[in-house]
Amino acid sequence: MRFENVWLLCLLILIPLLVWLYFKRYRYKSGSILFSDLTLVSQLNKSFWVKYRFVLVILRMLVILLIIIAIARPQTSRGFEEISTEGIDIMLILDASGSMRAEDFKPQNRLQAAKEVVKEFLQGRENDRIGLIVFAGKSYTQCPLTLDYNILEELLDHVEVGIIEDGTAIGLAIANAVDRLKDSKAKSKVAVLLTDGENNRWEIAPITAARAAAAMNIRIYTIGIGSIYGGAPIPVDTVFGKDYIRVDGELVLTKLDEDTLRRIANETSARYFRATDEKKLSQIYEEISKLETTKLNVKRYIRHNELTAYFLLPAAILLLLEIILSNTRFRKIP
């Protein structure tokens, strides 16, 4: 609660002053009456109404208190914000090829670790539309741009290695993201590409797709994932249990093309990051989140509700009660 004319509350000091004057006057009148014989007077019992006549003073002071509060104009305040956003549209591009089963991000594999970190990234966004593109040998849109992050998380949970024919079609994935973002009216258009491999599908070359993104003012942040710079073995399930992919008896290791990922980021005025463990990957997404933050223009409005009537009404009732009592039960005969 607030007061429009808060300075008028200074008048409250009058209440203790009036009470003091009343009792001073009462004592003066009581002491000025002379009796020739006080014995008879002392034997008289005061009635209830005589004994509690000071109630009239209390009522009068309450009336004055309520009137002072009323003229100070008490108000309740209710505020609300009007937010205008310069939204960001973000397409997350996630590699789901066989190499993402590599277990160097223990206790999880690379894909599982990436999915957990992406969920953390979603929790830090509020007003941005975000979509998800999944790729391996082909690329498809798992979730179009949306503000419903719960639905996006559910669809992310369904991403697994093997849902797309194997391979690493980085160029196709970027082209898919460009197609989703090209008609966006957002202030900023961004893609975040995460992969642990090198492009091996040439329907669209990665650099060609990156240049198309740059022409559409789309920035592509690239993330290379993998803890072992020389590559990690790729697990595979067999009838005898888990094994690793081999060619001519030799382990097949993942191979990350960092040069291409750097070029993609540079072509689109973005940045390349290398994630060697889940903690580092989480820090990378957090940094991208800070680089691509929605700008909010906030206007605050305050609405005041007048409460004067809530004090004037009881003041009027108490004043009426005081007048009635002073002319009936508490009536004083001169």
The count of other CB atoms within 10 Å of the CB of residue 328 is 9
Residue 274, beta-bridge partner list: 224
Residue 30 pLDDT > 70, yes or no?
A: no
d(CA 35, CA 39): 9
pLDDT of 204 reads 93
pLDDT in tens, 241-288: 777 788 777 887 888 899 999 999 999 999 999 998 889 999 999 998
Architecture of the structural domain at 88-293: 3-Layer(aba) Sandwich (3.40)
pLDDT of 135 reads 96
pLDDT in tens, 110-161: 999 999 999 999 987 877 899 999 999 999 999 999 989 999 999 999 999 9
The 3-state DSSP class for residue 185 equals: coil
- Residue ranges covered by each domain of the chain: 2-32+46-78+303-326, 88-293
d(CA 106, CA 273): 20
CA triplet 40, 42, 48: central angle to 5 degrees?
A: 120
Residue 47 pLDDT > 70, yes or no?
A: no
> Can the peptide bond before residue 16 be classed as cis, meaning omega within 30 degrees of 0?
no
pLDDT in tens, 195-233: 998 899 889 999 999 999 999 999 999 999 987 666 788
**Taking the mean position of all CA atoms in its chain, how far away is CA 65?**
43
pLDDT in tens, 77-87: 666 555 555 67
